[in-house]
Amino acid sequence: MGKIKIIAEREFNERVRKKSFIITTILMPIAFVAIMFVPALMMNISSDEKKEIIVVDQSGMVGERLQDDGQMMFSLSDKGFDTLKEENNEVFGILVIGEDVATNPSNVQLFTYESSTINIESAITEQVRNIIEAEKLKQYNIDDLDRILGEIKTPVSLQVKQLNESGEAKDSSAILNIALAYVFGFLIYMFVFLYGNMVMQGVIEEKSSKVMEVMVSSVKPFQLMMGKILGIAAVAITQFMIWVVFILVVGAGAMSLLGGDELLAAAQASAAMDPAMASMSGAEMSIDKDAAALINTITDPGYLVRILGGFLLYFVGGYLLYAAMFAAVGSAVDNEKDTNNLQLPITIPLILALFVMMSAMQEPNGPLAVWFSMIPFTSPIVMMVRLPYGMPDGFWISVLLLYGTFLAMVWLAGKIYRVGVFMYGKKPTLGELLKWARYKS
Amino acid sequence: MEVFLKIENITKQFAGHTALDDVSLEVPRGCVYGLLGPNGAGKTTLIRIINHITAPDKGRVWFNGHPLSPADVANIGYLPEERGLYKTMKVGEQALYFAQLKGLSKAEATARLKKWFVKFGIEGWWNKKVSELSKGMAQKVQFIVTVLHEPQLLIFDEPFSGFDPINANLLKNEILELRDKGATVIFSTHNMASVEEVCDHITLINKSKNILSGSLDEVRRSHGGNIFEVDFRGDKESLVGALAGLPCGLLDESLIADEDKENHSERALKIHIERDEDVRSVVEVINNTVQLRTFREVIPSMNDIFIQAVAKHSAK
């Protein structure tokens, strides 16, 4: 145990003192925010530019009632479609509404000069449908139609409260739940990859520089492997803690500068990027109402402990499990180029977990989420989706499975490692790796 | 002779081939023991078994009178043939790290390291990065790290590779000094000249088997074939005539020396005396016939013995 500690200390000191550690510590949060939020912000920016659409209305019913919105600008034209087409106006497109549109609703055509988007298409469809429906309703000659319609309109605002075991109702913020699940799941994915790779590279470096040969007479290969894994884990936790402090400071600063609403809007836009999330967050969700729920949720200590505690448990467990696998792969090769094939069994479950996490957001306690949050290779990422919605069933079983699998994996990886570090000039297959594990010491 | 390390019928197989086949040997305490053999003979496997890195399939290792246990590794210093240092670490820090892994406290390790650095004239390297060192420089650091914890057993695998003659000599003297202080040294090399210089005992391993063991003198003598060189002044013909009736044979090649030494009126003969007890009577006859200048046994070099023994064993 003493030797593992000495090794872990070296790994930690060497890495933390490096310039690259300081640089990644600064750049990673920026990159992370960029990956997660910039596309959402970009979508907002690009929608500011309005698309001009010339309307050729043969029905005489729809055209003048089309309304400009955030993304489109309509202009009626008396000219025929053929003339307009030849004029080659610098517009987004030409909307042709057929004479019989009331009876033949598919006689609406949009010709565009550039590729159209789902947003524009659905907005046009929506407008045309509303106009025709209103027109049809008018034909029933109901008195006071406008007043009746006005009275019928009912803006429903759903108040979501989550009941805990003692029957207390608490505000539940879907947006926050989704955002946290997304951020934490993604963080685990990134950390496991990044730091797992660091373990692998470290092992390859020791092997190719023959330091390993000197080391094995003073320490067991297993101690060498565990020391490395734990030392790098300490680096990861240190880096994470720096970020937590950093985020708290920046977050507090941003809140006071921008106000909560704008941040929320950005978060919501980001969540809406994913179609799965969009269906949950919904377009009608009121930001004000959600802000209240958000603040109530985030100040709930039980919620925080569950989310952060769960995150740390799975973050460490997931890293340990995958780091052991990365170490075994590193021990088997002479240089990094040879790792590609061997890394597949590591990367596939990781990427699978990320995809499952995305779809599990629709149904955080559905069978998909539940099963994959039990399988140790995917649970660290997938469980992040379930955590915000209350203590998940089988949470501790999943944690036990994860750490149990980690121990089994370390044992297996140690056996491979022990053989692998003395194998040079070989490009082993996965099958050979497993065969090594069966060698006697 | 007190045995420090005893290898007892060790067999080790890897998938497809046998690395060691029923190998036994005894390393006396306080000697330099040469472990010789062609590439791939099984030397490194044997060293790894002694270092508790791998375990034998069969057989046992006795260390200082008890069966080898993992704890004994702290009493072994091993300088492997393939060796390296962390390139980005500083020399001093790295030496400290290895010393701590060998169980030395930080303070103790620092004190001893300073002493060795002064001894080798490398005090100025403490804060240098390993990547700035030449190969020979790095080897010096590795040597220090190997012996720093003052182990009872030292294993050097090709310790002189990468050294210039001056530093190789420095290292050789250090190894002999460590032996004189009581350490037992196992020395594996292909450089037979250095074997003759430093080894007290040797074992030759070929194709996983121990084919030759013994003290250096014994081995060399036993391979001598009882050939003696006779330098003399006087008439060659009469000496050849006088020797004709004795239990010894003249070797053809010995006559060549005759021509070269004509001017000095000094001649040489190589003769073969089959039985040791006949040596005295032969010398007596020579002494009576010519003026005897030198009479000595021709001892083959380790290089010849190595090649001969391996060729003979491989032919079987």
Domains and CATH numbers, chain B: 3-221 (3.40.50.300), 225-297 (3.30.70)
Contact of B54 with chain A, judged by CB distance below 8 Å, is answered with yes
Distance from CA of A210 to the nearest CA of B (A): 5
- B12, B54 contact by CB (below 8 A): yes
Pairing of strands B153-157, B76-79: parallel
Cα(B175)–Cα(B154) distance, rounded to whole angstroms? 9
Q: What angle do CA A128, A134, A140 make, to 5 degrees?
A: 145
Tell me if residue A180 falls in helix, strand or coil: helix
| Domain A47-143 in this protein, CATH class | alpha beta
| A52-83 tens-digit pLDDT | 888 888 888 788 788 887 778 888 888 788 88
The label of the residue with tokens 């020396």 reads B257
Residue A99 predicted with pLDDT over 90: no
Average pLDDT, chain A: 80
| Helical spans, DSSP H, in A173-220 | 174-208, 211-215
Cα(B91)–Cα(A229) distance, rounded to whole angstroms? 24
Looking at residue A8, what is its pLDDT?
93
pLDDT band at B310 (very low <50, low <70, confident <90, very high): confident
Distance from CA of B130 to the nearest CA of A (A): 12
Which residue in A3, A435, A440 is closest to B101 by CB distance? Answer: A3
Which residue in A10, A213, A218 is closest to B102 by CB distance? Answer: A218
- B167, B135 contact by CB (below 8 A): no
Residue B264 predicted with pLDDT over 70: no
The label of the residue with tokens 């070296």 reads A10
Residue A6's closest CA among B48, B112, B113, B94?
Answer: B94
Looking at residue A260, what is its pLDDT?
55
Looking at residue A274, what is its pLDDT?
46
**B 127-156 residues with CB below 8 A of A?**
142, 145
Residue B167 CB neighbour total at 10 angstroms:
17
Mean pLDDT of A70-98: 81
Chain B environment of A441 (Cβ under 8 Å):
54-55
Contact (CB<8Å) A210/B102: no
Mean pLDDT of A306-334: 89
Distance from CA of B80 to the nearest CA of A (A): 6
Residue A322 predicted with pLDDT over 60: yes
Which residue in A209, A220, A440 is closest to B87 by CB distance? Answer: A209
Mean pLDDT of B95-119: 91
Q: What are the distances in angstroms from CA A1 to CA A8, A213, B78, B294?
A: 11, 21, 22, 66
Residue B250's closest CA among B259, B261, B260, B239?
Answer: B239
Distance from CA of B202 to the nearest CA of A (A): 23
DSSP string for residues in A56-78 = EESSSSSGGG----SSEEEEE--
Cα(A276)–Cα(A181) distance, rounded to whole angstroms? 13
| Helical spans, DSSP H, in chain B | 43-50, 91-101, 106-119, 135-147, 165-180, 192-198, 216-222, 236-243, 256-260, 279-289, 302-315
- B294, B229 contact by CB (below 8 A): yes
Comparison of pLDDT for A239 and A31, the residue scoring more: A239
Cα(B140)–Cα(B164) distance, rounded to whole angstroms? 12
Contact of B40 with chain A, judged by CB distance below 8 Å, is answered with no
Residue A281 predicted with pLDDT over 60: no
Contact (CB<8Å) A214/B142: yes
Pairing of strands B227-233, B266-273: antiparallel
Residue B4's closest CA among B24, B39, B29, B21?
Answer: B29
Please tell me the pTM assigned to this model: 0.74
Cα(A354)–Cα(B56) distance, rounded to whole angstroms? 46
Mean pLDDT of A317-345: 86
Kind plus residue range of the DSSP H or E element containing A97:
strand A93-97
Return the percentage of chain B with pLDDT > 70, whole number: 95
Looking at residue A280, what is its pLDDT?
43
Cα(B80)–Cα(B159) distance, rounded to whole angstroms? 8
Return the percentage of chain B with pLDDT > 90, whole number: 25
By CA distance, what is B56's nearest residue in A?
Answer: A441
Residue B162 predicted with pLDDT over 90: no
Kind plus residue range of the DSSP H or E element containing B6:
strand B3-14
Looking at residue A283, what is its pLDDT?
41
Rg (CA), chain A: 29
Looking at residue A290, what is its pLDDT?
59
Cα(A385)–Cα(A180) distance, rounded to whole angstroms? 8
By CA distance, what is B90's nearest residue in A?
Answer: A14
Contact of A8 with chain B, judged by CB distance below 8 Å, is answered with no
- A372, A360 contact by CB (below 8 A): yes
**B 272-311 residues with CB below 8 A of A?**
none
Looking at residue A353, what is its pLDDT?
92
Average pLDDT, chain B: 85
- B154, B75 contact by CB (below 8 A): no
Give the number of beta-carbon pairs within 8 Å between A and B: 60
Chain B environment of A205 (Cβ under 8 Å):
86
Contact (CB<8Å) A214/B85: yes
pLDDT band at B154 (very low <50, low <70, confident <90, very high): very high
Residue B269 predicted with pLDDT over 60: yes
Contact of B89 with chain A, judged by CB distance below 8 Å, is answered with yes
Contact of A288 with chain B, judged by CB distance below 8 Å, is answered with no
Question: Which residues touch A227 (CB under 8 Å, ≥6 apart)?
Answer: A3, A4, A5, A6, A7, A8, A10, A11, A219
Distance from CA of A267 to the nearest CA of B (A): 43
Looking at residue B95, what is its pLDDT?
92
Contact (CB<8Å) A210/B89: no
Looking at residue A276, what is its pLDDT?
42
Mean pLDDT of B19-38: 90
Q: Which residues pair with A94 in a beta bridge?
A: A54, A111
Residue A282 predicted with pLDDT over 70: no
Cα(A43)–Cα(B192) distance, rounded to whole angstroms? 76
Count of residues in chain B: 316
Chain A environment of B79 (Cβ under 8 Å):
214
Residue A194 predicted with pLDDT over 50: yes
| B207-223 tens-digit pLDDT | 888 888 888 888 888 88
Mean pLDDT of B117-121: 89
Contact of A218 with chain B, judged by CB distance below 8 Å, is answered with yes
The label of the residue with tokens 């290779």 reads A377
Give ranges for CATH 3.40.190.10 in chain A: 47-143
Mean pLDDT of A85-111: 82
Which residue in B15, B100, B142 is closest to A6 by CB distance? Answer: B100
Q: Mean pLDDT: which of A149-158, A425-434, B59-68 is highest?
A: B59-68
Return the percentage of chain A with pLDDT > 90, whole number: 16
Mean pLDDT of A383-395: 85
Looking at residue A298, what is its pLDDT?
66
Chain A environment of B39 (Cβ under 8 Å):
none
- B11, B54 contact by CB (below 8 A): no
Contact of B83 with chain A, judged by CB distance below 8 Å, is answered with yes
Contact (CB<8Å) B85/A209: yes
Looking at residue B266, what is its pLDDT?
65
Q: Which of A340-344, A396-400, B108-112, B205-209 has the lowest mean pLDDT?
A: A340-344
Contact (CB<8Å) A3/B53: no
Tokens coding A123: 């907005």
The CA-to-CA distance between both ends of chain A, in Å, stands at 20
| B66-97 tens-digit pLDDT | 998 888 888 899 998 888 888 888 999 999 99
Complex ipTM > 0.90: no
Comparison of pLDDT for A85 and B181, the residue scoring more: B181
Contact of B76 with chain A, judged by CB distance below 8 Å, is answered with yes
Looking at residue A341, what is its pLDDT?
78
Residue A190 predicted with pLDDT over 60: yes
Q: Which residues pair with B33 in a beta bridge?
A: B186, B201
